[in-house]
Chains A and B, each alone.
Chain A
């Protein structure tokens, strides 16, 4: 697992993907910071974080699209899948590498926190809860996108499909409002990543939401393993 992680991490920074992701993420988060805080002279860290979700949603597919599809395109999956490493470890190693790159990007947004702290007050508790929620949500998107890309053969469709999935889960609560069947709207609301994130933005540590995100990540990774396993039976990458 560590072997896979190390290689993926290295691959992110040998190819432009890692730099581009972190660069674009940081630059755009600066823009968002300007719009949400500086231009309105607001000292609210949580407002900034809530706006950042859009960025995460938009950019995580870039990190995940190559993890599985590129292996299949270059047929390097033949090496991984015939090595004495379980699928679970392969998926976990890859996920953690993407999560680490995301972690760096998230870490860098703390420059904005620092500016807020210099010119106003940022409460440590608020900072902790906000970032915890934000990080969990980002990692949730990452796991979801990894699963989506597991179904796809090519990188670009994988990225588009992942973006669509992100968008859907984000918007699902708006859909829930329009659905009049009670259980359906409840179910939709349950899935909404926005609803789950909300308590954190309000500065509340919600254990239900915490659990939801962790479960979401776990389920997506597990499903990714199953999808890859099933592919052995359905077809081959050889043709």
Chain B
């Protein structure tokens, strides 16, 4: 479990984090979303004990990495933004070194490292020098490094950045596989990734938490969004739409043409939203010009969270 309690961080005159509080419960995957410069990396560096906060504190399974560094860090695997690789070492040497740092027993290091190389698809590269690896493989080696010592808590800073689509899918599958029984906190600016992997989302904007919610409550997964362009009177249409079965919200979107209304309809549980809209519109004699399913509720949530 990771607990962050009222953490603030200043770099000289830059206030990178403002009073951030969050919790990543055991066995859950927490996604940290934010734009460039939102403070994601800073927060992860503080959680892992690489930086000290200006105020506030962090607990890893109940221990503060600044006060009890060794027990707190033993539980921790960290993939920083730039994988911390020693270019003059081979993949296998490096992972053995990390395993020794993480206090894996000397006798079980070779087996442990072999297993991790298997999981991360590095087995064929074991003899290569890290300095000669491609970016995607460097990222994998960074990921493998975080798994050494089988930590309970994984902190990953943009784990899929710089990978090709196939590798992205593989790494995501790996995160999903690992998530059983571990606490995982990862940062990302890719919404789809967060939706796919996380149980919980925290949105960070300019160093402050803007949203902290289970992914299920954000819609998208179990809800459906329809984007409709209709012809007819705006007020009449909105009022009628609000009476549809299972509707959660009706929002007028900008950008409709002359005599057109663009609506964003969010449904909770309705099984056949398109059919309902169609029936209603023909009853109102309002032609449907376009109707699409919008999958990206999270995007909406994100934009709203950072807009204030």
Contacts and interface: CB of A to CB of B under 8 A. Distances in A.
Nearest 7 CB-CB pairings of A with B: A79-B84, A14-B88, A3-B100, A76-B84, A84-B73, A83-B101, A84-B74
B46 to A, nearest CB: 9
Given A3-B100, A75-B82, A82-B78, 8 more contacts: A3-B97, A7-B86, A14-B89, A75-B80, A75-B84, A84-B70, A84-B101, A238-B42
Interface in A197-239: 232-233, 235-239
A78 B232 CA distance: 60
A78 B50 contact: yes
B85 A86 contact: no
A11 B102 contact: no
Contact of B76 (A7, A80, A82): A82
For chain B, give the interface size range: 35 or more
Interface string A176-196: 000000000000000000000
A11 B88 contact: yes
B101 A85 contact: yes
B97 A232 contact: no
A236 B84 contact: no
A83 B146 CA distance: 10
B42 A236 contact: yes
B89 A238 contact: no
Interface in B81-95: 81-82, 84-89, 93
Given A14-B89, A75-B84, A235-B11, A86 B69 contact: yes
6 contacts: A3-B100, A7-B89, A10-B88, A84-B73, A232-B49, A232-B66
Contacts of A238: 41-42, 45, 51, 81
Nearest to A83: B101
Nearest to B14: A239
A15 interface: yes
